[in-house]
Amino acid sequence: MGGRPGYLTLPIFSVVAAIGYVYYTTVFVAVPRWLGLSTAAGVANAAAFTALAAACLATYAVAVRRDPGRVPPGFVPDVEDAESTVHEIKRKGGDSRYCQKCCQYKPPRAHHCHVCKRCVLKMTWELQDFLGLCIVCCGCKLLCIGSVLHSVPKDEQPGSDSSRTSIIICGVILSPLALALAVLLGWHIYLILQNKTTIEYHEGVQAMWLAEKGGDIYHHPYDLGVYENLISVLGPNIFCWLCPVLNTVGNGLRYRTSYDIPISTPM
């Protein structure tokens, strides 16, 4: 898997700048104002928040920089493969899915995003990033609230107004950000528990409607049950689920489905 070209876009710069401002305000303004960096509680909170911010930046860097993989050159779906119980085809014509931009066939569950990519692997890194950002936002809000409610001694009054203003600005930034991240985190958890990509969810809504209209019941073919879905998306090593490391199995060209029947080997 190759890396992405080295560039810094405005959205990436905005996210890094926001994390930097939140980190500075929390560690160098809110914590000293409330607990003090010379106390054990202040040092512990500053160290914990620094570790969270570093982990958050690491997961964000992985989500932005690491390529989830490209379709191998010359890939052609084998519609006669007996081991593959699900074949994704075009809605019109019934032909194998073909990307006109990449000029190649699409593997199962792949969609075009600059190039056809493994969307399931990308969803794993996004989940880790959203979870880290949510934890950082919650920790920052708690420290900021405690700092604002804390009464500053009179001998420290001259600089208290500017620090209080910085904390309030940080809180204003965090409120909509935390709400948006919580929604995205919940959405990704739902998709992973159902073993769906975003496009598969929207396609499933339409498929469910058509099935009900015809008196049938639609079942998502990649839904293996909650635990197996977690394993399929996040990998078999539970201790790596929240770490920005490659933990998934398979090559992205074939996925287990609910129609697969385990073959028992004779004893």
Residue 46 within any structural domain of the chain: yes
Residue 169 within any structural domain of the chain: yes
**Integer Cα distance of 102 and 115 in angstroms:** 6
**Integer Cα distance of 39 and 260 in angstroms:** 59
**Integer Cα distance of 227 and 134 in angstroms:** 24
**What is the model's pTM?**
0.77
Token match 């405005």: residue? 10
Please report the pLDDT score of residue 65 as a whole number: 79
Cβ contact 147:30 at 8 Å: yes
- Please name every residue paired with 116 in a beta bridge, in sequence order, or none if there are none: 112
207 phi and psi, to 5 degrees?
Answer: -65, -40
Residue 73 within any structural domain of the chain: no
Please report the pLDDT score of residue 172 as a whole number: 85
What mean pLDDT is predicted for residues 90-111? 76
Cβ contact 120:100 at 8 Å: no
**Integer Cα distance of 261 and 155 in angstroms:** 74
**pLDDT higher than threshold 50 for residue 137:** yes
**Integer Cα distance of 17 and 149 in angstroms:** 26
Most confident of 7-11, 82-86, 160-164, 238-242: 238-242
What mean pLDDT is predicted for residues 150-175? 72
Residue 146 within any structural domain of the chain: yes
Structural domains counted in the chain: 1
**Integer Cα distance of 254 and 84 in angstroms:** 8
Average pLDDT for the chain: 79
**Integer Cα distance of 226 and 235 in angstroms:** 13
Residue 80 within any structural domain of the chain: no
Percent of the chain with pLDDT over 70: 76
- Give the model confidence (pLDDT) of 37-95 as tens digits: 889 999 999 999 999 889 888 888 877 777 766 777 887 877 666 566 666 766 666 67
Question: Domain range spanning residue 21?
Answer: 9-68+128-177
Structure tokens at 198: 């975003």
What mean pLDDT is predicted for residues 107-130? 66
Structure tokens at 108: 């199962």
Higher pLDDT, 140 or 129: 140
Residue 183 within any structural domain of the chain: no
In which band, very low, low, confident or very high, does the pLDDT at 212 lie, cut at 50, 70 and 90?
confident
Residue 194 within any structural domain of the chain: no
What mean pLDDT is predicted for residues 143-152? 77
Nearest to 101 by CA among 90, 89, 116: 116
Residue 75 within any structural domain of the chain: no
Element spanning 105, H or E = strand 104-105
Cβ contact 246:214 at 8 Å: no
